[in-house]
Chain A
Amino acid sequence: MTGIAAWKIGIATLFIGTIVGYLGQRSRFCTISGIRDFFFVKDSYRLKGLIGIVVGGVIGFTLVNKLGGSLSSFTPGKWQFMPMLKDGLNVTPSILIPLSAVGAFFMAYFSVMAEGCPFRQHVMAGEGRLSGIIYIGGLVAGVVFFDVVIVPYLQLLTLRFPN
């Protein structure tokens, strides 16, 4: 990839992140709180945001596909309903399925304790909330820990259970 093309991607991500961050601050959007609020007090305001992502995803890939964009999983110019459905549970190695399930479950569990999904924590940090800023510090330390400690074990597991 050329330097200019790479910078185009970097700037596009910054631009889109800024738009989404702005909207997230104005709407108090949070995926985890959406499910939590609905479960606790039957308030569907934030849950609509999670539903909106699914609706937006369908609209987005339809528009991009029809207007000549290129999405790797889809056949260009052709309407496809849920194009990745055919992949099913095609994950190699299969040991990643229970590990991912554990990861998704506890990510959600601890996000309820932190009172917000990772996106909401970024937004709270931008609003000047101390817990959001410190959370991001923990997140940075966690990434390094994952790379140094967890990844070697994952590599051992995937070698032990190849399929």
Chain B
Amino acid sequence: MVEGEATAAAKPTRWKPSFKLSGNMALITGITMGVLAAVVQGYFGLQPPAGDGICGISHPANIVNWLVNNIFGTKFTIHSIFVTVPVLTSVGFVIGSFIAAVKNKEFKLRPGPVRDNVLAFILGFLIINFGLLWGSCPIRTAILASYGMFFAILMLGMIVLGVIVACLYIKWKVRRA
């Protein structure tokens, strides 16, 4: 054996976590979300309400209400644990995504899937209003469903129904065009 080959074989390879898009990456992300939501509630006291570790509806609403209350002196509803300090999960979503995009050279200012800016604004407006009627985003609904909350299981069913009706509408619109 050549001496150089032996040295190369003996050199220990350093393990690095891979965040490449693999077949199970979404599954891993989902499991991580479920576990972290329980951890942040169980060890950092992010409760009540139950199952509110991660949410794309109530957390942005809480931070906006906290800011408006502190700037304009209003009394908009905030979860009791976030009265002193705002919940920063939604800020973290944007920062985490920004770091990942920059690190993987995917960050670029470009139009998103909704090309009409006014429509994007209206959709954000409508989605938060309907979402606040139920009080949870699909992620928190799934977390609550995993805790066995029958009401959340029912609402998860309504979310699935809403998606199916929207898909059927898109199909109908495409056929008609």
Contact = CB atoms under 8 A, between A and B. Distances in A.
Interface of A: 1, 3, 5-29, 31-32, 34-36, 39-40, 45-46, 48-61, 63-65, 69-73, 81-91, 97, 99-119, 121-132, 134-147, 150-151
Contacts of A28: 21, 25-26
A107 B130 contact: yes
B1 interface: no
Contacts of A108: 138, 158-163, 166
A55 B142 CA distance: 10
Contacts of A112: 162-163, 166-167, 170
28 contacts: A6-B84, A9-B44, A14-B88, A14-B92, A14-B95, A20-B93, A21-B96, A21-B98, A31-B142, A39-B167, A45-B23, A52-B31, A56-B31, A57-B143, A58-B34, A61-B147, A86-B148, A88-B150, A103-B130, A103-B132, A106-B126, A109-B165, A110-B130, A112-B163, A118-B131, A132-B112, A138-B121, A143-B132
Contacts, number: 487
Q: Say which size band chain B's interface belongs to.
A: 35 or more
Contacts of A88: 150-151
Which 4 pairs from chain A and chain B are nearest by CB? A17-B92, A56-B34, A52-B30, A82-B148
A140 B76 CA distance: 13
Contact of A17 (B88, B100, B138): B88
Interface of B: 19-21, 23-48, 50-51, 53-54, 56-57, 59-61, 64-65, 68, 74, 76-77, 81-82, 84-101, 104, 106-115, 117, 120-135, 137-139, 141-152, 154-156, 158-167, 170
A22 B147 contact: no
Interface residues of A, dominant DSSP: helix
A107 B92 contact: no
B39 A107 contact: no
Interface residues of B, dominant DSSP: helix
Given A12-B44, A21-B92, A48 B159 contact: no
A64 B147 CA distance: 13
B97 A25 contact: yes
Nearest to B126: A110
Nearest to B98: A126
